[in-house]
Amino acid sequence: MDTHYKINLSIVLFIFCSMTAFAQPAMNDQQIEQKVDALLKKMTLKEKIGQLNQLKGNYSTDIYEQNIDLNEAIKRGEVGALTPYTNLDQMKKWQQLAVDSSRLGIPMLYGADVIHGYRTIFPAPIGQASSWDMEKIQNAERIAAVEATAAGLMWNFTPMLDIARDPRWGRVMEGGGEDPYLVSQIARARVRGIQGDDLSKPNTMMATAKHFAAYGRAEGGQEYNSTEVSERTLREIYLPPFKAAQEEGIACMMNGFNAINGIPATANEFLLKQVLRKEWQFKGFMVSDANSIYELIPHGYAADKKEAAYKAFTAGSDTDLWANVYMEYLPELVEEGYIDEKDVDASVRKILTYKYKMGLFDHPYQYFNKKRFKKEIFTKAHQQASLELAEESMVLLKNENHTLPITKKTKKIALMGPLVNSREFKDLIGNWTGFSKPEDAIMLDQGFNDVKAKDQEIIFSQACEAWGNCPDALMDEAVEIAKKSDFIVLALGEQGYNSGECGSRADITLPGNQEELIERIAALNKPFAVLVMAGRPLVLTSVIDKIPAVLYCWQPGTMAGEAIANLVFGKKSPSAKLPMTLPYALGQVPIYYNKLSSGRPKLDPTDKRWGLNSWSDVPNEPLFAFGHGLTYSEFEYGPLKVNKTTFGPDDTLEVSCTVKNTGNYDTDEITQLYIRDIAASVARPVKELKGFQRFSLKKGEQKEVKFTLTLDDLKYWNDKMNFDVEDGTFKIMVGPASDNVQEVTVELKGYKSSFSKNVQ
């Protein structure tokens, strides 16, 4: 064989190998079903239950102890999935054990939390939601999936779709805020990004909608607390994002740690069977939350592990995340006749189906590809995508007299505060970034130095220690620096770990004595701006009037410093809008824009009469409303038009208005459409978001923004718990924020009269 031939052969072999590695032989659903049937027939009961068991890689924590010889358990076929947190070599070794040393050679799934990026970290989900930019959110998830799959993961425990109306709850940062419509759109974008168009491709992975359901309604915002929620509110507010994820073809859902109306979500048959399986016909699988099956015991819902396994499984939790309770007790529960083996088969079937769909049986090692690991993680293109989304995620709450951006005329800029260059507590990068490298993140000092003009000087001062403690000596030093500067930028807020799981706070003002620092700087009467880094809406009321400009940055991710500097120096205009209300006072919480009216509504904030739906000590209004957000430009909204003021059930209502950029910056605007059903079989919210559009307008440019509404957009869960609507009057409202809309009134006629006995 000559060399030439050898080379050709190796090229052919390479192409063949890459084809088999990257283009899976397509198997249709029927073929998969046959394969699963055949495999199930060969499996022992223990092997079946093994498929429902997910363990941790070689780590334990205080809460999740795991005293199991992992290698032996894998060899016995008792581990269906792993949460690895290790390198590719070790991941591959474990997979080899499953494939080569277990009796049936069934490959394992590797799943973990990649919440806002794997190594290239995007803004925290609440920041992403503030962009209202579905394309960029989808792209961020696509990139996260490319990186995560290059690092051996094939199953992502995201997106978190918990609606959150209580900013005390720490996990607000992981979600899309308070509105079911916005979060549903985000759910679709994120599922598309993670799962791509074909799960068998080695750069797509399964997504998990979590936490099913209403975990975000934890009483008092206290972590892991229970939830009381009416069925209507559950269906109308908390469930729609999950339904949207299901319609988008999500593979998996995860239940929550909370009890709902007394029954833990992990064993809640109404949710897991009635809603999810019977009504929605969800075909994917339901994983428990971490250890949550075991936790039915401290919940007081099961006397011991056996009862916990019984209750979780029979309620509809298919797989057990980290508790090992199914492995321990399902075999005897089946043998003793408490559980029918056919039901075990049904759950196993779902897991095996996804293992086939992902091509794992043919290519169990396709995710452990070192070349991809080297090439596809933290690329320049990924960092650029993170930068662009970060720029779109920060909300300009206030900007008196165009305080921002800092212009070239301003020469000496003081940049100070505990969050200027702190990597320690995931402050800028954000919580839930287990695979990130702290050194990757661009801190504010670097970003400012890179973006400023040559003749501008940036002077840094820390001013405070970690956790917002600003001792006199540090503050004095900062004030002296501020005195000698032309402009002061304060980087304040929460540490990364102040939010996220177990990051609930009862006091949601700026931690420590950061407010004092604001007051001392304000007293200098110099132009200044505050950058707020936070995983939740904070109460800023006592300082807001003293600050000329506030940019709410959330947790911006890897490119934080550069993105913030680009906005502060006006290379880009802010364009984000709040996906969650910023309260005026903690006592208003829970506060959200889509509240129900009252029999005694307070329609005019200045109305001081007795007997109105109000507080006597604070206003009804929040500090900043849902949907609020400024740009460096100005927009003028033309009159609101509808194509008909009376419409029937088959009609399409066309709603439009012109939006003109009348300011001095090219930027994006996000126009929002809300409705209100004036009289219905149950009281309806004063506003409900039903559409939004994000678009770019150059200065001087205008655009006609158009929305369409159909009968389905008006439907709600009526007094008979049917999703329907009756004839009547509706307000249609359009504007740049929920508290800044124009309205028209339209009439639905000829569908169902609210006087008819037949209204179901």
Q: How many residues does the chain have?
A: 760
What's the rounded Cα separation, in Å, for the pair 74 and 51? Answer: 10
Q: Does 289 bind ligand BGC (CB under 6 A)?
A: yes
Distance of CA 426 to the CA centre of its chain: 18
Kindly state the smallest distance separating residue 191's Cβ from ligand BGC, in Å.
Answer: 16
Judged by beta carbon, residue 289 or residue 688, the one nearer ligand BGC is 289
Judged by beta carbon, residue 290 or residue 406, the one nearer ligand BGC is 290
Judged by beta carbon, residue 54 or residue 581, the one nearer ligand BGC is 54
Judged by beta carbon, residue 157 or residue 368, the one nearer ligand BGC is 157
Kindly state the smallest distance separating residue 724's Cβ from ligand BGC, in Å.
Answer: 34
Q: Cis (ω within 30 of 0) for the bond into 159?
A: yes
Strand 487-493 relative to strand 528-533: parallel, antiparallel, unpaired?
Answer: parallel
Q: Which of the following is catalytic: 166, 179, 289, 677?
A: 289
Judged by beta carbon, residue 110 or residue 181, the one nearer ligand BGC is 110
Kindly state the smallest distance separating residue 501's Cβ from ligand BGC, in Å.
Answer: 5
Q: By CB under 6 A, what part of segment 207-226 binds ligand BGC? A: 210
Judged by beta carbon, residue 123 or residue 125, the one nearer ligand BGC is 125
Strand 53-56 relative to strand 412-416: parallel, antiparallel, unpaired?
Answer: unpaired
Kindly state the smallest distance separating residue 158's Cβ from ligand BGC, in Å.
Answer: 8
Judged by beta carbon, residue 114 or residue 415, the one nearer ligand BGC is 114
Smallest Cα–Cα separation from 292: which of 273, 275, 311? 311
Residue where the block lists tokens 């086939």? 356
Q: By CB under 6 A, what part of segment 82-121 binds ligand BGC? A: 113
Judged by beta carbon, residue 269 or residue 501, the one nearer ligand BGC is 501
Kindly state the smallest distance separating residue 31's Cβ from ligand BGC, in Å.
Answer: 32
Smallest Cα–Cα separation from 387: which of 513, 216, 240, 558? 558
Residue where the block lists tokens 């006199």? 472
Residue among 189, 194, 213, 290 that touches ligand BGC (CB under 6 A): 290
The residues, any chain, with a CB within 8 Å of residue 267's CB and separated by 6 or more, are 293, 296, 301, 302, 308, 311, 312, 315, 317
What's the rounded Cα separation, in Å, for the pair 634 and 390? Answer: 22
Question: Residue 49 class from Cβ within 10 Å (0-12 exposed, 13-18 middle, 19+ buried)?
Answer: buried
Q: Quick one: tokens of 3?
A: 């060399």
Smallest Cα–Cα separation from 127: which of 384, 382, 394? 394
Which residues is 671 bridged to in the sheet? 693
Strand 740-748 relative to strand 646-647: parallel, antiparallel, unpaired?
Answer: parallel
Residue where the block lists tokens 């165009």? 402
What's the rounded Cα separation, in Å, for the pair 639 and 636? Answer: 10
Kindly state the smallest distance separating residue 247's Cβ from ligand BGC, in Å.
Answer: 22
Q: Which amino acid is at 577?
A: K
Under 8 Å between Cβ of 129 and 116: no
Residue among 269, 307, 440, 501 that touches ligand BGC (CB under 6 A): 501
Q: Is 607 labeled as catalytic in the residue annotation?
A: no
What's the rounded Cα separation, in Å, for the pair 21 and 366? Answer: 6
Judged by beta carbon, residue 83 or residue 366, the one nearer ligand BGC is 83
Residue among 122, 157, 448, 497 that touches ligand BGC (CB under 6 A): 157
642: helix, coil or strand?
A: strand
Number of residues that bind ligand BGC (CB under 6 A): 6
Kindly state the smallest distance separating residue 289's Cβ from ligand BGC, in Å.
Answer: 5
Under 8 Å between Cβ of 417 and 464: yes
What's the rounded Cα separation, in Å, for the pair 436 and 112? Answer: 14
Under 8 Å between Cβ of 748 and 716: no
695: helix, coil or strand?
A: strand
What's the rounded Cα separation, in Å, for the pair 697 and 661? Answer: 6
Under 8 Å between Cβ of 271 and 215: no
- Where on the chain is the footprint of ligand BGC (CB under 6 A)? 113, 157, 210, 289-290, 501
Q: Which residues are catalytic?
A: 289
